[in-house]
Amino acid sequence: MKIAMLTKHFNFRNGSSRVIHEISERLSVRGHEVHIFCNKRPDSYTGTAILRHLPMLPFGSWSRVLSFSIGCSLSVQRTLFDIVHGHGNSRHQDLATVHVCRQANLLARGRPLSRWDPHLWLERRQFEAPGLLRIITPSEMVKRDLHRHYQIPLDRMVVIPNGVDPDRFHPDVRLRYREEMRKKHGIHDGELIVLCVASGNFVNRGILNLYAALRRLEDPRLRVMIIGGDRLGRFQRAADELRSRLVFVPFTEMIERYYGAGDALVFPSYYDTFGQVVLEAMACGLPVVVSARAGASEIVTDGKDGLTLKDPEDAAALAERLRLLADPALRERLGRAARQTALRYGWDEATNKTFAEYEHLLRAEN
């Protein structure tokens, strides 16, 4: 089977890139030819998929969005593909994986919907395109959002959660990396390190509310390590009074080393269609605190394999959950159960379900 995957940014700073990479690798191993059409790509790529660069006009958001969409349409029409699988705003696709519902995201953050937002305009256009036959969502939350905001029939959508590599993300990372990484960042014995992986998206990750929760906690052992802190701006200025309790780390592709250094992960996102880092941390045996507005909360049972946060803007509730994680026995119990839950979500299963959608579409055409 010859497969085209479309995504503006294939750079491993986000969960969508991980999904595309893991599934394309497994499809390639099975003998399928996978082409990834993208604008941004990793500096070094050792995967087996064929990367196809698509330029974008540099004259503002409208030009970038439209030029990429048009480039996708022209490129995939020049070559005969069995399946065109979109992972972003493109109109020429047989099925699309929705990694973000922009309208729901903006509303969750209290942002107004503008008729001049090119992403919203193209988001609606792609869902209205007659060639789009099927939609994959990583969570039931996204499926409901698309039905509510765009009236997409529920039977046109299928939920396929993200997967995780249980060997790379394993409790053994604590043995391999804990001492090295904590020493590197000046973390002392006895300090409780709560990780927050932001990848530069500090607003959506609820960082300011995390600061507010931290101010409510007097435990001097508790420190928060924010990973992806290479575009801080006002968020660093807002953290000046918490300087001694925060550790900022730039984006890293070796995130498992930091899971080894940490004691828990907090994910107080305003809106996230899944939240790949939650599943990765759970696979490493870390207890997690995850916002109910993140799709990954659907795989967490509160009090059993993690803690959920109904409202990420409730700083008091967030502080209370962080206070609970000061108990090492609770962290151990939640972490063990988290690993077992994560093992149910493998990339092979996600690939099998995705490929089954391809086969379903091809059978429907014949």
Residue 352 sits in a domain of what CATH number? Answer: 3.40.50.2000
If asked whether residues 10 and 158 sit together in one domain, one would say: yes
The verdict on residue 358 lying in a domain is yes
* CA 160 to the chain's CA centroid: 14
- The whole-number pLDDT of residue 230 equals 53
One DSSP character per residue, 56-76 reads ---SSHHHHHHHHHHHHHHHH
- The whole-number pLDDT of residue 291 equals 96
The verdict on residue 305 lying in a domain is yes
If asked whether residues 269 and 256 sit together in one domain, one would say: yes
The verdict on residue 168 lying in a domain is no
Question: Which residue, 220, 188, 205, is CA-closest to 309?
Answer: 205
As for how many domains the chain has, the answer is 2
Question: Which residue, 310, 300, 297, 312, is CA-closest to 210?
Answer: 312
If asked whether residues 336 and 193 sit together in one domain, one would say: yes
- The whole-number pLDDT of residue 236 equals 64
Q: Where are the alpha helices (DSSP H) in 84-162?
A: 102-108, 118-128, 140-150
CB atoms within 10 A of CB 359: 11
If asked whether residues 222 and 261 sit together in one domain, one would say: yes
Range of the domain at 233: 173-342
The verdict on residue 330 lying in a domain is yes
If asked whether residues 123 and 241 sit together in one domain, one would say: no
If asked whether residues 118 and 250 sit together in one domain, one would say: no
Q: What angle do CA 89, 145, 84 make, to 5 degrees?
A: 30
Placement of tokens 């959002």 in the chain = 145
Residue 228 near residue 200, CB atoms below 8 Å:
yes
What 3-state DSSP class applies to 287?
coil
Stated as kind and residue range, the H or E segment containing 227 is strand 222-227
- The whole-number pLDDT of residue 238 equals 65
Token duo for residue 289? 């605190």
Token duo for residue 251? 């984006």
The verdict on residue 123 lying in a domain is yes
- The whole-number pLDDT of residue 100 equals 85
If asked whether residues 145 and 210 sit together in one domain, one would say: no
- Say how far apart CA 25 and CA 17 lie, in whole Å: 12
What 3-state DSSP class applies to 332?
helix
Token duo for residue 206? 């609820």
Non-local CB neighbours of 224 within 8 Å, separated by 6+ positions: 193, 194, 195, 196, 210, 214, 245, 246, 247, 266
If asked whether residues 206 and 154 sit together in one domain, one would say: no
Residues in the chain where the model's pLDDT stays below 70: 200, 229-240, 366
Question: Which residue, 217, 215, 224, 219, is CA-closest to 187?
Answer: 224
- Say how far apart CA 231 and CA 242 lie, in whole Å: 18
Question: Which residue, 194, 261, 264, is CA-closest to 224?
Answer: 194
If asked whether residues 293 and 361 sit together in one domain, one would say: no
If asked whether residues 48 and 186 sit together in one domain, one would say: no
Question: Which residue, 283, 48, 253, is CA-closest to 162?
Answer: 283
Residue 135 near residue 361, CB atoms below 8 Å:
no
If asked whether residues 226 and 129 sit together in one domain, one would say: no
Residue 302 near residue 352, CB atoms below 8 Å:
no
CB atoms within 10 A of CB 317: 17
The verdict on residue 60 lying in a domain is yes
- The whole-number pLDDT of residue 108 equals 83
